Amino acid sequence: MTGLEVTPLETQGRHIGRRLSVFAIPLVCVAQLMATLDVTIVNLALPAIQHDLALSNAGLAWMIDAYTLAYAGLLLVGGRTGDLIGRRRTLLTGIAIFTLASLVGGLAGDPAVVLAARVGQGVGAALATPTTLSMITTLCPPGARRTRAMVAYGAMAGLGITLGLVLGGLLTQAASWRWVFLVNVPIGAVLLAAAPRVLPESTGVRRRVDVPGALLGTAGLTALVYGVIRAGTDGWGDRLSLLTLAAAVPLLVAFVAVEVRVAEPMLPLALLRHPVRLGAYLIAGLLFACLYPSFFFLSRTLQDVLGQRPVEAGLRFLPLGVGVLLFAVLTRRLVQTVGPRALVLGGTAATAAAALALALLDRNSPYVGLLLPCLVGLGTGVGVTFVANAAAAMTDVAEPDAGIASGLLSTFQAVGGTLGVAALAAVAARVTENHAGSTSSESMNGALLAGFAPAFLIAGGLAVLAVLTALLTSPRTERTSP
């Protein structure tokens, strides 16, 4: 056996085939929604977590970073695991780990236990996230059905990030910060009960496990992400940050050397030689390097500068989620007529314009006149680009490599977002320090805004680079369905 065996839906029997056609893709999309929800849902609960658990600022930062470190470091392994042992099995394992970790985090009273739970959530998400996209491409043949599934996937991916900001504020203020963890438990339980009845299992690929590649790739990515995270909090001159980043280079070089020579690599480097796929990966990294810092600074602007409570700040993000849904659905109709290239160009351009405009924010900026159009612009960019770019990333991918191709896309997104937040947070902090002329709240608010402005400009510049990447790598005449 040399390829992945996925039994066609029509051969599963009428009853099973009916259940698969109705419930399979919605279930996969709910799993994606749960995983992406956790990227942002904790953000607006951080002040309450710090107060209840008596965390230092460094400990509070690790509430976000512990998840990011585990998630980004293991995404490639998670993607390939689905190819090797079966995608349904990998998805269920990831959801089970994520759900259990969420339960532990929601009930924990010790900071160390909550941090361990965040690591567990990252591990579970690293197994589940790449599996969702690969299942869509193997369950749905090219055409209208896959287009609809890609629209749902893109909408859930973007909506999860936005909904996390809204729910984080609502749950923290109305109940407790613990519910930003516990909300995952009933969702995970339903998915674990339904998936074995709804999703077909793939038998996996009979191949040797690339242990050296898996170890080197995980170690290299973990060192890179840890170094960036630490530099973002301790400064880019921090010795441990520099040592860790320096260690990441030979580890990743050794990883590439192993993948070139091994007969059955964890990451087939041919995936990166396809110009459309490579462009999609780069666009994903650049877009997330723009979006994550933009969400981070927007959240801080609403709470720290404008003094809004978590629920008020969360509700301000609702137009972004509405934009994601509307334009993801619109993309489904446009992708077959104008092609993915024009959509990716339009989506990245909308993201760039919105991020650049956010640099104009001040304490007197009208919500309707400035912030609302920017949120709608970001929603437009996310809704359009996520759908079209996810389809481009899976272009011409063979079934045995669908998991690792999806994992590679998620890796670019996670590493891009981590690099963006760390680098732009450092820029904002330096400018804020230079502008802080006094200790009064008014002057500190002005100093914060002064620091956020260049960060938004750089974020917009990264989205402009995504536009240029799309121009250089996307086919000009492609009109195929995802």
- pLDDT at residue 328 in the model: 78
Mean pLDDT of 69-97: 87
More confident site: 170 or 348: 348
pLDDT of 229 over the 50 cut: yes
Encode burial over 71-95: b for 16+ CB neighbours within 10 A, e otherwise. Answer: bbbbbbbbbbbbbbbbbbbbbbbbb
Domain segments of the chain as ranges = 10-207+264-473, 208-263
Q: Which two tokens stand for residue 314?
A: 């969360």
- pLDDT at residue 14 in the model: 38
Q: Which two tokens stand for residue 61?
A: 């930062």
Considering the chain, what percentage of its residues have pLDDT values greater than 70?
Answer: 90
- pLDDT at residue 114 in the model: 92
SS (HEC) of the chain: CCCCCCCCHHHCCHHHHHHHHHHHHHHHHHHHHHHHHHHHCCHHHHHHHHHHHCCCHHHHHHHHHHHHHHHHHHHHHHHHHHHHHCHHHHHHHHHHHHHHHHHHHHHCCCHHHHHHHHHHHHHHHHHHHHHHHHHHHHHCCCCHHHHHHHHHHHHHHHHHHHHHHHHHHHHHHHCCCCHHHHCHHHHHHHHHHHHHHHCCCCCCCCCCCCHHHHHHHHHHHHHHHHHHHHHHHHCCCCHHHHHHHHHHHHHHHHHHHHHHHCCCCCCCHHHHCCHHHHHHHHHHHHHHHHHHHHHHHHHHHHHHHCCCCHHHHHHHCHHHHHHHHHHHHHHHHHHHHHHHHHHHHHHHHHHHHHHHHHCCCCCCCCHHHHHHHHHHHHHHHHHHHHHHHHHHHCCCCCHHHHHHHHHHHHHHHHHHHHHHHHHHHHHHHHHHHHHCCCCCHHHHHHHHHHHHHHHHHHHHHHHHHHHHHHHHHCCCCCCCCC
More confident site: 113 or 295: 113
- pLDDT at residue 16 in the model: 40
Most confident region among 140-144, 217-221, 313-317 by mean pLDDT: 217-221
- pLDDT at residue 342 in the model: 83
More confident site: 205 or 342: 342
From the list 13, 320, 332, the residue with the least C-alpha distance to 163 is 320
- pLDDT at residue 440 in the model: 53
pLDDT digits (tens, 9 = 90+) for 118-152: 999 999 999 998 888 788 877 777 777 777 787 77
Question: Using 50, 70 and 90 to split pLDDT, how confident is the model at 182?
Answer: very high
pLDDT digits (tens, 9 = 90+) for 350-381: 999 999 999 988 888 777 778 889 988 988 88
Nearest 5°: phi and psi at 265? -70, 155
Question: Using 50, 70 and 90 to split pLDDT, how confident is the model at 57?
Answer: low
CATH number for the domain running over 10-207+264-473: 1.20.1250.20
More confident site: 166 or 5: 166
Burial of 186 (0-12, 13-18, 19+ CB in 10 A): exposed
Stated length of the chain: 482
**pTM, to two decimals:** 0.81
Task: Name the average pLDDT for the chain.
Answer: 82
The answer to whether 154 and 31 have CB atoms below 8 angstroms apart is no
Q: Determine which of 112-121, 126-135, 152-161, 263-272 has the lowest per-residue pLDDT on average.
A: 152-161
More confident site: 153 or 199: 199
- pLDDT at residue 73 in the model: 85
